[in-house]
Structure 1
């Protein structure tokens, strides 16, 4: 049972983290070269028009006034309007349509990493130094070493071009027209009862999710193996086996839960890494997600899009860490103390 005091304490700790991220983003963007007013007005606009835009945006105010206004608006989830990407459109609306695209791919990639990594790590620990252990370690090392911008095209070449099993890019076949409800296309197709569209969306997402999940799978399997090996050598595990309990029951009943604690840490950290890796994955597979939009916003100087995206990523990452802390306390109630 998770205590309310523990949960409230973790929630309060999120406040300084988000405050620090917001301050850092504001400082970086205001110290970087470039004039947002000039970006909006265009390079050929007159200086009077540029000054008018600066006044309307409040860019002529003292920096501390701009900072305070930025914090107040950020708390209200008001990140302003896009300068270039979707000019005049509120940033929250832009993120509302783009964020589910990236989240869907990251969540499925994390599921691939968990479903493949934990069994591989368990197998390697139980069958230490066996052929299966060596194979899983080689696979994990390969997954950590191969970058997405290299593995992505190779996967496309093999499964899309040579074998023709899966599509090479996009989110769904062009013949399907799906009305966005949640923004998560696999959910939207199921909600609307279009199972043919769901199959198309699932096949389109399989390759990018697999590519983005390979790195996560490699780290999870390595951590699971080392953690399980440490747990297996504990005295209480030897006692359970000495009492005549089977080795499989001993590992799954007594060791697995304790071995999961450091693995949960890796899973939480990897979610943030998957969001960052989505930039490359979306580029390789032609998926119009928030990662590609962020790179484009940085290139054209669309500061509200950059601020809103970074703060959204920070919020998601802190929430994932909160879930990790709650999972910790469930697996080991002593942590709450």
Structure 2
């Protein structure tokens, strides 16, 4: 049973983290080259017009006043309006449209990584130094080593171009138009019970999810193997075997739960990173997620979008870490103490 006190304590710890991130983001953008007023006004605008824009944006006020206003707006979830990406549109609206795209891709990719990574890690540990173990370790090392910008085009070339099994890019076929409810396109198609559209969306997600899943599976399986090897050598595991308990029951009943603690850390970090935007995956497969948007915002100097996106990254990462901490306390109640 997870205590409410433990959860509340972890929630309160998120406040200084988010405050620190907000301060860091504000400071970095203040030190960054370029003039936001010039970006808004245009490169050919007169100096008088640039000064007018700077005054309207509040950029001519003292730095501590700007900082206080930035924090107050962030607390109210007012992230400003885009300068370039979607000029005049609220950053919160842009993030609301883009974020579910990345979340959906991250969920499916991480699901595949967990689905295959944990069993492979357990099998590799139980059959240590066997042919199965060597094959699994080589596969994991290969999955970690292959960059996404190389594996992605190869999968597109094989499965989309040569075999024509899945679409090469995008989120759904051009023939389908789905009203967004959650922003998760596979879920929205099911809500409207549009099965052909759901199949199209699922097919479009296969390759991005596989690319993410391969890398995730490699890390999870390596960590699972290492953790399980350490656990099965513990005295209580040997005692259970000495009492006549079967190997499978011993591993799954006594070893699996303890071995999962460091693995949960890896899963949490990976998922938090993916929520921050799998930039290469989104670029290769033409997926309009939050990661590719951040790169575009940096290129054109869209400061409100950059600030809002980084703050959103930080918030999502802290939420994921909260779930990781709660999972720790479930796997090992002693952690709460």
Fold conserved between structures, TM > 0.5? yes
Distance 1:234 1:158 in 2: 46
Deviations for 1:82-129, whole angstroms, at most 9, x for unmatched residues?
001100000000100000001110111111110110011011011111
Distance 2:155 2:15 in 1: 41
The 5-angstrom pairing of residues 55-204 of structure 1 reads 55-204=55-204
Task: Check the 8 A contact 2:100/2:183 in 1, yes or no.
Answer: yes
Distance 2:245 2:131 in 1: 26
The 5-angstrom pairing of residues 1-337 of structure 1 reads 1-276=1-276, 278-337=278-337
Compute the displacement of 1:277 (Å). 5.6
Give SS of 2:256's match: helix
Please, what TM-score do these two structures have when normalized by structure 1? 0.99
Task: Check the 8 A contact 1:212/1:277 in 2, yes or no.
Answer: no
Compute the displacement of 1:276 (Å). 4.7
Compute the displacement of 1:328 (Å). 0.2
Deviations for 1:236-261, whole angstroms, at most 9, x for unmatched residues?
11111111111001101110001000
Name segments (4+ residues, structure 1) moved above 2 Å.
272-277
Distance 1:8 1:273 in 2: 24
Counting matched residue pairs gives 337
Distance 2:278 2:213 in 1: 11
Distance 2:79 2:12 in 1: 23
Compute the displacement of 1:232 (Å). 0.5
Distance 1:139 1:75 in 2: 46
Task: Check the 8 A contact 1:178/1:189 in 2, yes or no.
Answer: yes
Deviations for 1:154-199, whole angstroms, at most 9, x for unmatched residues?
1111111111111100000111111111110000000000011101
Task: Check the 8 A contact 2:277/2:290 in 1, yes or no.
Answer: no
Give SS of 2:183's match: coil
Compute the displacement of 1:272 (Å). 2.5
Deviations for 1:17-38, whole angstroms, at most 9, x for unmatched residues?
1111111111111101111111
Give SS of 2:180's match: coil
Structure 1 unaligned blocks of 5 or more: none
Please, what TM-score do these two structures have when normalized by structure 2? 0.99
Task: Check the 8 A contact 2:102/2:289 in 1, yes or no.
Answer: yes
Distance 1:48 1:125 in 2: 70
Compute the displacement of 1:223 (Å). 0.5
Identify which range, 42-51 or 316-325, moves more after superposition: 42-51
CA distance change for structure 1 residues 277 and 87 in 2, over 3 Å: closer, same or farther?
A: closer
Give SS of 1:78's match: coil
